[in-house]
Amino acid sequence: MMDVDELIFFFLFILFSFNFIFFFYIIMFLFLLFLLMLFFFFLFIIFIYLYNYVLVLVVLVDVVLLLSFYFI
């Protein structure tokens, strides 16, 4: 059983050996996903400092639902 990072590197190695453009697109996709997670994390912190916990919970559930619909 491989770890998650080994699986990711194995997947990237297969894509890199297959085609360089696919490798580049996967790297850019992971980078944009990382930036999106940072953006939602800072948005979550701002909502914690500005509003009460009920509104934060509603926003967090809305974000999770939107992301789930996006990935489905």
Question: In the chain, count of helices (H) and strands (E)?
Answer: 3, 0
6 pLDDT higher than 80: no
Eight-class DSSP state of 21: H
1 pLDDT higher than 60: no
Q: Tokens 């085609």 correspond to what residue? A: 19
pLDDT digits (tens, 9 = 90+) for 12-59: 777 666 666 666 777 788 888 888 888 888 888 777 777 667 777 777
CA dist 3 and 53 (Å) reads 36
Q: Tokens 């996006």 correspond to what residue? A: 70
Domain ranges in the chain are: 4-71
CA dist 21 and 62 (Å) reads 34
